[in-house]
Structure 1
């Protein structure tokens, strides 16, 4: 990035970016289960419920296609501000227009806004990090998103004070963060390459060819995150859980990720990221497979969700760190786009696949498929070999 800041300013900018990603996690963690509950109460089918939930990731997916170019035009700050404003206005609009069709459009807009601020903040953190602190910085970034996503479902009990309360509280939080960003962040722009020239053509294909195993975890993380938060409320209601129990169980997927994010990062530094991703995928997948077996045992499901979420909740950040280890620095922005693309594709597939499976009456199938995907991913690691390792800067 063109402008040089002193270490103190850099730390301030870093923690503002952390606040931004916490807000992004909160918006998704709250909207997915709350709107799923609203639609279930309205008698909307589980497949249509999943399709409506996936609208958020349709918007996010669309933004990913143009994020790199837009960021180059407007810079980090303006892209983050645009995302914050779009999400904040959409939150208010959910209250004013209670229509399933309009909610679909609003979720698309929230997806665009969340993707804009998430992409800009994530890349800014990645580009300001060095090889010495990259793992710690990315792990803390992932923890912060997980924290926001975990806190989001805790807004469900606020519905008893009025359906508008969770949305208004979240909108006020976005307004506060927006003001901080406006007054405290500089509007830097990413460099196109280290020598100021255009990046090489085919950079997306090249980054994928060199680091596909490191980029697939983003898809699995998006599938798990959106699928569980959209489908588990419906799964829970149909299994006999109360809203209070559903609200209590959902955060433990993210809590597990928070608990194991740093340990997994440390272990990946010591034992290798590929090995940690493989083991976490197998054990986490098995935990998901056991959830239908646990039936309606609250504590058994709580433990399984915590373990599974803890083991695979670091997949996005660990995968991105692994990609940064493998790829030349000039390809990192492209790899970030590919990872975001995968995340959004998984986030779209998760709610729809889960809704379609539950539509057949096989509610536990959502966890069988989820666990199977993680185990399959771990097995593909047998075919992945690092082709090129660049010096890290």
Structure 2
């Protein structure tokens, strides 16, 4: 048990490093492209390379996970991040940067997928919500402090990338101190059926939160600055309003995970979806009141900031352990697809109607998910669709 907890905390540090990588590289490369005079449209399209990499690699990640194990999959994902990070400041070509950001997406997805699945495996069912919320908290913390590295640009273009390399070295050193592990083998009864169809049929509700979280995160990071400019907000206020969502999610990440351990994931997700929907629907009412904007985003973040981890925990509650790697693949694809769709869809809505319609779209999605929670059958009913040998016990 002690070794499992040590492995757990190593994974927490590693995912915090991954969060810092995303939190720094996304705005850092956007700033560098802006300084080169690249248009905002091209800048945004270049940023989607990260999520394209996530979507392209996600369907295949279960293969290396089962063949080389959790630690080695994380290691090679970290290698891709390291190589890409080192190469970015060597080039200024948009095409090269697109390829490097795509590789970052592949490496980042590999690291996240393997670490999420490993955490899900080594945590007990009674504390699964708490431990996965700590995982999400670590990523959120890393993502929140990542942008601070922008201040290092004043010392030279290589300095912020060098800071990331130092963090990678720490992650390598910690990974070297833990033993490799493998997912549970697929039973013969499972091999006779399509595992993706089985997972989608039984755990479809648990797979919606990753999509919603990906859509909301990308909408706020990519589309909110456009909303701010069109409504007359200054860049200074925008930089203060936007982190409110992350701060809110960090505050309630662990309490919501622990509450879901006690009263059930679906109940927590239902209430959180309703609260988040109300916050997004009320956001346009703020007008020019920046404090009300910050409050609404903080409430929305607190409510739905743990959606990804709650969805994974719920899937782990109702499916056999051997099927959780498949859940992780579908969740990663859903997150990536939502991240790619959000900027274009929000841009269309803001162009065709009003800028605030992006918030109503997010509110409508959360309201629809809350309704889905109400009509979804209970876990015991869903398990009846599994063969007896695959049903969860205990």
TM-score of the alignment, normalized to the shorter chain, above 0.5? yes
Shift of 1:45: 4.8
Q: Secondary structure at the match of 1:184?
A: coil
Q: Equivalences for 1:62-101 in 2 at 5 Å?
A: 62-101=56-95
Kindly tell me the number of residue pairs found equivalent between the two proteins.
385
Q: Distance in 2 between matches of 1:177 and 1:328?
A: 30
Q: Distance in 1 between matches of 2:339 and 2:58?
A: 13
1:36 matched to 2:30? The reply is yes
Please give the TM-score of this superposition, normalised by the length of structure 1: 0.89
Aligned to 2:7: 13
Residues 292, 364 of structure 1: 8 Å contact kept: yes
CA distance change for structure 1 residues 184 and 54 in 2, over 3 Å: closer, same or farther? same
- Stretch moving more, 267-276 or 321-330: 267-276
Shift of 1:133: 2.1
Aligned to 2:370: 378
Shift of 1:287: 1.4
Aligned to 1:187: 180
1:327 matched to 2:319? The reply is yes
- Stretch moving more, 243-252 or 183-192: 243-252
Q: Equivalences for 1:1-393 in 2 at 5 Å?
A: 7-40=1-34, 44-181=38-175, 183-193=176-186, 199-358=191-350, 362-386=354-378, 387-389=381-383, 390-392=391-393
Q: Distance in 2 between matches of 1:167 and 1:326?
A: 42
Q: Distance in 2 between matches of 1:84 and 1:243?
A: 33
CA distance change for structure 1 residues 231 and 88 in 2, over 3 Å: closer, same or farther? farther
CA distance change for structure 1 residues 392 and 57 in 2, over 3 Å: closer, same or farther? farther
Residues 129, 260 of structure 2: 8 Å contact kept: no
Residues 206, 315 of structure 2: 8 Å contact kept: yes
Q: Secondary structure at the match of 1:25?
A: helix
Shift of 1:53: 2.0
Residues 50, 355 of structure 1: 8 Å contact kept: no
Shift of 1:161: 4.4
| Residue segments in structure 1 that go unaligned for 5+ positions in a row | 1-6
Shift of 1:292: 3.2
Q: Distance in 2 between matches of 1:383 and 1:46?
A: 42
| Residue segments in structure 2 that go unaligned for 5+ positions in a row | 384-390
CA distance change for structure 1 residues 241 and 153 in 2, over 3 Å: closer, same or farther? farther
CA distance change for structure 1 residues 352 and 60 in 2, over 3 Å: closer, same or farther? same
1:239-287 per-position Cα deviation (integer Å, ceiling 9, x unaligned): 4444444333333222211111122223323333222212211221221
Q: Distance in 1 between matches of 2:49 and 2:331?
A: 19
Shift of 1:208: 1.0
- Stretch moving more, 275-284 or 382-391: 382-391
CA distance change for structure 1 residues 363 and 97 in 2, over 3 Å: closer, same or farther? farther
Q: Distance in 1 between matches of 2:242 and 2:164?
A: 19
Please give the TM-score of this superposition, normalised by the length of structure 2: 0.89
1:339-386 per-position Cα deviation (integer Å, ceiling 9, x unaligned): 122112212222332344445584333322222211222122233113
Q: Distance in 2 between matches of 1:351 and 1:92?
A: 28
Shift of 1:17: 0.6
Shift of 1:46: 4.6
Residues 85, 178 of structure 1: 8 Å contact kept: no
Q: Distance in 2 between matches of 1:162 and 1:258?
A: 32
